[in-house]
Amino acid sequence: MARSELFPPIDPFETGRLPVDEIHTLYWEQCGNPKGVPVVFLHGGPGAGASPTHRRFFDPGHYRIVVMDQRGAGRSTPLGETHNNDTDRLVADLEALRQLLGIQRWHLFGGSWGSTLALAYAQAHPDRCLGLILRGIFLMRRSEIDWFLNDMGRIFPEAWSQFTGHIPEEERGDLLEAYWRRLDSPDPGIRMAAARAWSMYEGACSSLLPSPDLIAASGEDAHALGLSRIEAHYFRHNAFTPEDRLLRDVHLIRHIPAVIVQGRYDIVCPITTADTLRRAWPEADYVVVPNAGHSAMEPGIRSALVHATERFKAVR
């Protein structure tokens, strides 16, 4: 019978810090089998950071599990730092980590923004990729950003009302810039209040059914600050050129084994984006979970992702 649950908790066998420029130092860890097949976990956000739970999607007896907190996120420092923080640098950081660890080729596993980064890395370095497991597809197009800022309120009006209510009415014509002024405020109280409002809005919209635990975790200071500042920064500055670059360049990676897992009722990253990607990439396996939203912890999403990592044991 195919496994459907996460693997037991596991501790790293190695951790480290990788300075990548004069500002940023990245946290990384390795878990599982030191001689196993390498897989790198790419967290979402951008800015959300990774957690111990994320190690558990992979069989620790088979995989050499690599986890890295991206620039400004999680245990990387400085938390929430936006200078020298863009997609090309994150791709370069992954290459630097791969070389540091002496890995020739690895699987990429990423959801939400992690799927964006996985696609960008794979298209830049297809020869380094064994396979891709992607969830909750986000392609960083303006329509997707506008949906997040404004149109999620069609489905979650209560959460959107709280999100917009943090901003004075006269500033609501441009929510992104209004939030950024507060997220970049020198006043830590103003900055933190805006960070919580942003992060808890996303958390409230991330599951099919209400999840008090997810919303509470979204309001935790370090998570909220990293997520909101980096996410808003990327929304303001880091659109791809051309905007559909990740779709346009899918031809570079169509030979790589891939699984796309998508919740039917994902509101943060609606299914239309995943459908667009799978039409451009017909070789990829496409799994629509009928009773799930966005979060990787939704039971159906979690099961589909574990099933994918089990299937990919045959890919070396």
List, by residue number, the catalytic residues. Answer: 112, 266, 294
Q: Which residues contact 143 (CB under 8 A, 6 or more apart)?
A: none
| Nearby residues of 63 by Cβ (< 8 Å), 6 or more positions away | 32, 33, 36, 37, 38, 39, 107, 309
- Taking the CA atoms of 127, 128, 129 and 134 in sequence, report the sign of the dihedral they define: negative
The torsion angles phi and psi of 110, rounded to 5 degrees, stand at: -150, 140
CA distances 150 to 28, 76, 146, 156, 264, Å, are: 35, 30, 6, 10, 20
Task: Determine the 3-state secondary structure of 258 from DSSP.
Answer: strand
Q: Give residues with Cβ within 8 angstroms of 160, minimum separation 6.
A: 152, 153, 201
